[in-house]
Amino acid sequence: MACFALFPLVWMISAAFDVTGQISTQQLIPLHRGLANFTQLFSNKEKPFFTWVRNSMVVAICAAAMQTIIGASAAYSLSRHRFRGRKLTLTTILIVQMFPQLLAATTLFLIINTFGKTFVFLGLGHQLPLILIFGGAALGVNTWMLKGFFDTIPSEIDEAATIDGAGHFLIFTRIIVPLAVPVFVVISLLSFIGILNEYLITSVILGLDGKNMTVAVGLQQFIYGQYGKNWGPFTAGALLATIPVLALFMFLQKFLVSGLVSGSTKG
C-alpha cells in the first residue's frame, strides 16, 4: 500500500526531470534528464510561478488562521456551555459540511460579484473574499475535532480559574489555548493543505488572470487546451509546490503526533 501511494509522487519527480515533457513516452528513469522544465517554469513571464506561490501562501495562511480561530471559539462554547439548541447546532454545522463545494460555486460567484459592485476589494479577482469564504469552509469538521479535544480538559480547571476571578475569555486564552496547542497545529496544517490544493472555488473567485491565480489554478494553464500540453513545467511546478507542505510536516511532526493521538489529560 505504501508503494501504491508513493508511486504517483515518484512518477511526478521523474516527469519533472524528463526534458521531453511527454507523458505518453515517459519512463520511470527518463533517458533524457535535465533541468529544462524548471528553467521553462521560472522564465515564463506569462505564467509567473513565484507570484502564484505568493498568492497561495497569503490565501492559505490567512484562511487557515481564520478557520482555527473560528473553530476554536465555536468548539469552546459548545464544549463548556449548556444552552438551548446546543445539540441542534452541532448537528447542523456537521450536516452543512457534508454538501460538496460544487453546489455553492454558482451562489458564491453571484454573491461576490454583487459585493464587488459596491466594494471593489470584495469583488471577483481579489484575495480577500476568497479568504473569507475559506475562513468558514471547514467550520463543521474543525469544531467537532476541537470540541472532542476540549471535552478531555477537566472542567475543574475552569472552575478553579473562575473562583480566582477569571472570565471566559481569560480562561480560554490563558488555560485552554496553551493546553490545546497540538490540536491547533493539526487543524491549522490540515486547513492549510486543503486550501493550498483547492481548485474549484479558487478558479471561480480569482478567475484566470495570471497575476491573481494560486499554484493549483496557475499550473493548470500549462496543460489547458487540446494541444500544446506542457507536462514538464507542470510536474516541475507541482514538485516544487510540495516542498512547503513537506517542510511543515517535518517541522511540526512532534505536535502532529501528540495532537492526533493524545488528549490534554495524557502526559
Distance from C-alpha of 134 to C-alpha of 28, rounded to nearest angstrom: 37
Of 59, 95, 24, 44, the closest CA to residue 210 belongs to 44
> How many other C-beta atoms lie within 10 A of the C-beta of residue 93?
19
pLDDT of 267 reads: 39
What confidence tens digit (pLDDT) does each residue in 76-113 have? Answer: 888 888 888 888 888 888 787 777 777 888 888 888 88
Distance from C-alpha of 199 to C-alpha of 218, rounded to nearest angstrom: 10
Residue ranges of the chain with per-residue pLDDT less than 70: 21, 24, 209-210, 225-228, 257-267
- C-alpha cell, 135: 475562513
Distance from C-alpha of 184 to C-alpha of 65, rounded to nearest angstrom: 10
What confidence tens digit (pLDDT) does each residue in 12-29 have? Answer: 888 888 887 677 677 777
Q: Where are the domains of the chain?
A: 47-261
pLDDT of 150 reads: 86
Angle at 194 between CA 190 and CA 23, to 5 degrees: 125
pLDDT of 261 reads: 56
Sign of the dihedral defined by the CA atoms of residues 238, 239, 244, 246, in that order = positive
109 CB-contact burial (10 Å; exposed 0-12 / middle 13-18 / buried 19+): middle
List, as one string, the DSSP characters of 178-201.
HHTHHHHHHHHHHHHHHHHH--HH
pLDDT of 65 reads: 92
Are 204 and 105 spatial neighbours (Cβ–Cβ below 8 Å)?
yes
Residue 28 CA: distances (Å) to CA of 7, 60, 129, 195, 229? 10, 33, 42, 30, 20
Topology at the third CATH level for domain 47-261: MetI-like fold (1.10.3720)
Distance from C-alpha of 92 to C-alpha of 122, rounded to nearest angstrom: 28
